Structure 1
Amino acid sequence: MVFQLTGKTALVTGTSGGLGREMAIALAEAGASVVCVSASNSDETVAAIRAIGGTAEQISADLSDLNGLQDVFLGAQSLFGGIDILVNNAGTIRRAPAAEHSPEDWHAVIDLNLNAVFFLSQLAGRHMIERGSGKIINIASMLSYQGGINVPGYTASKHAVAGITKALANEWAGKGIQVNAIAPGYIETRNTAPIIADEKRYQSILERIPAGRWGRPEDLKGPVVFLASAASDYMNGHVLCVDGGWMAR
């Protein structure tokens, strides 16, 4: 089956909840063994995967500490003998007007959302080049296309994630590796809680979404399985919007 992931191992970051949790579960449902990586524990995600008969382990790590990324990757690799799929989902957001955006907030966002994505992809890419195949899936954003409000660091990082996706695809497509990204639309998660709490802004966003609703984390389950599977073997350097039609409006 073209969407089957049996025998594959996926490394998914940011799996303590939200998008990462649902994507990790989706990959396990398709047959992959999953290594869940998060700064906080992924106990609930691992338990959910095991409850459906799947295989999962977890590693706790601060991915913004670039010096520790190699240990994270080698540890994940050792659990199931290799990494076939990398999902760079871990991220953070700091909200403040640009004129007041502190260096600490800027670097915290760039270190996790951008630097960790590139260097973890680099580690995975070297491994996948040796194996002659692999899937790297980055999580972009609507702010890979737009400017946003009060989130200059996040916007910069997500524009860059789209660029890295294309750059790596150009270099690695001929080596059997597909590098793509998912750009979620407005999804109800912890990161969007401040927007959801602003009734006026929430409603204005909702009115622009042709689907007539905000997204839910489980809306990313199908797209991530597609990009992780043989179904997307001829897709490379693409940023897939899962947005209820937001970008088409």
Structure 2
Amino acid sequence: MILVFGKTGQVATELQALAPEAVYLGRDQADLMDPAACAAAIAAAKPAAAINAAAWTAVDKAEAEEVAATVVNGAAPAAMARACAALGVPFVHISTDYVFDGAGETPFAVDHPTAPLGAYGRSKLVGEEGVRAAGGVHAILRTSWVFSAHGANFVKTMLRLSETRAHLTVVADQIGGPTPARAIAAACLEIARQLAADPAKSGTYHFSGAPDVSWADFAREIFAQAGRATTVEDIPSAAYPTPAKRPSNSRMDCARTAETFGIARPDWKAELSDILKILEIKK
């Protein structure tokens, strides 16, 4: 049995579709503000593996509430990892490109020095360090720009705005790989399976959609596939200030994930097409 932390988020929702037999813990059953309760849930369930698909994802809100964000993104996954280590079972934890400083244009390697720009990235880095320090069989899967037919994400926001606006300004100087939540869920399940068979595969990995693109070009593809006439004007990040600074470069080198687990970068354009069908968006 696989134990999953998360129930309503994008990746957790996709996990439920792919692995309905797993056990899913929502906030009412395992509140990440209570790391000890998360560890106790693992100890009680004695799963074959655990996946943490829950997190504090409100990037801007984290700037004002870094202590709480660090409990959820840092202390809780560390406690989960220690509980899994005590049982000798694999732990898969989802992290983020925000642990890097976003400098340059080269895709970040998994061993590139971390240097978060803000509170969210710092909180996720604390989680990564805690998972590694637990000493158990684990995979930290860094991803970026998650989207799906569920919850709040860029695709759904663009579609909503295009219903009433013929022209949008979108940031064009941030580049990254949009990543389908369904692909992340499938990767987590496959990685958990392979870790159980070969604990030597423990480590940190990157997983993002291909090809890398700007937010503005991502928006253009959404409108093109959805048959929306909304035009997109490129703007710099400076023209759209936010409480938290976003990385300019979110490109990630995913070669190690492909080599170790046989999991290639997903084609986000194809996944976008599937999502538009689910949402019944027709040209």
Q: TM-score range by the shorter chain?
A: 0.5 to 0.7
Given the superposition, is the C-alpha separation of residues 38 and 235 from structure 1 closer, same or farther in structure 2, using an over 3 Å criterion? same
Q: Distance in 2 between matches of 1:89 and 1:157?
A: 15
Please give the TM-score of this superposition, normalised by the length of structure 2: 0.56
SS of residue in 2 equivalent to 1:93: coil
Distance 2:26 2:58 in 1: 18
Partner of 1:62: 31
**Does 2:98 match 1:143?**
yes
Counterparts of 1:95-110 in structure 2, within 5 Å, are 95-96=59-60, 101-102=63-64, 105-110=65-70
Residues 78 and 131 of structure 2 are in contact (CA less than 8 Å); yes or no, is this contact kept in structure 1? no
User: Greater share of helix residues, 1 or 2?
Assistant: 1
Q: State which of 225, 232, 235 in structure 1 corresponds to 2:189.
A: 225
Amino acid paired to 2:26: S
The change in CA–CA distance for 1:25 and 1:62 in structure 2 (over 3 A counts) is same
Deviations 1:68-121 (A, max 9, x none): 33443344x1xxxx31111112111344499xx43xx11221111111101122
Whether 1:19 and 2:23 are equivalent positions in the alignment is no
| 1:88 has 2:52 as partner | yes
Provide the residue aligned with 2:76 in structure 1: 116
1:36 equivalent to 2:27? Answer no
One-letter identity of the residue aligned with 1:36: Y
Query: Which residue identity is paired with 1:107?
Result: V
Q: Flag the 1:200–1:235 CA change in 2: closer, same or farther, 3 A.
A: farther
- Say whether the 8 Å CA contact 2:30–2:41 is kept in structure 1: yes
One-letter amino acid of the structure 2 residue matched with residue 181 of structure 1: I
Q: What is the aligned partner in structure 2 of residue 163 from structure 1? A: 129
Counterpart in the other structure of 2:143: 184
Aligned residues: 191
Q: Flag the 1:97–1:181 CA change in 2: closer, same or farther, 3 A.
A: closer
> Residue by residue, what CA displacement relative to the aligned partner does 1:150-208 show, whole Å, maximum 9, x if unpaired?
9722110222333334434xx33xxxxx3111112211264645995695445554xx3
TM-score under structure 1 normalisation? 0.63
Counterpart residue identity of residue 125, structure 2: H
Task: Give the secondary-structure state (helix, strand or coil) at the position aligned to 2:90.
Answer: strand
CA distance in 2 between counterparts of 1:200 and 1:188 reads 20
Secondary structure at the counterpart of residue 140 of structure 1: strand
Following the alignment from structure 2 to structure 1, what is the Cα–Cα distance between the partners of residues 194 and 61? 43
Q: Tell me, in whole angstroms, the C-alpha distance in 1 between the residues paired with 2:14 and 2:61.
A: 31
Residue type at the aligned position of 1:187: V
Q: Residues 39 and 145 (structure 1 numbering): CA distance in 2 closer, same or farther, change over 3 Å?
A: same
Structure 2, unaligned stretches of length 5 or more? 104-115, 162-167, 213-250, 255-283
Secondary structure at the aligned position of 1:229 is classed as helix
Distance 1:19 1:161 in 2: 18
Cα distance, 1:200–1:114 mapped onto 2, change above 3 Å: farther
Matched residues in 2 for 1:16 and 1:223: separation? 18
Asked if the contact 1:181–1:239 (Cα under 8 Å) also holds between the matched residues in 2, the reply is yes
> How large is the Cα RMSD of the aligned pairs?
3.4
Q: Which of structures 1 and 2 has the bigger CA Rg?
A: 2
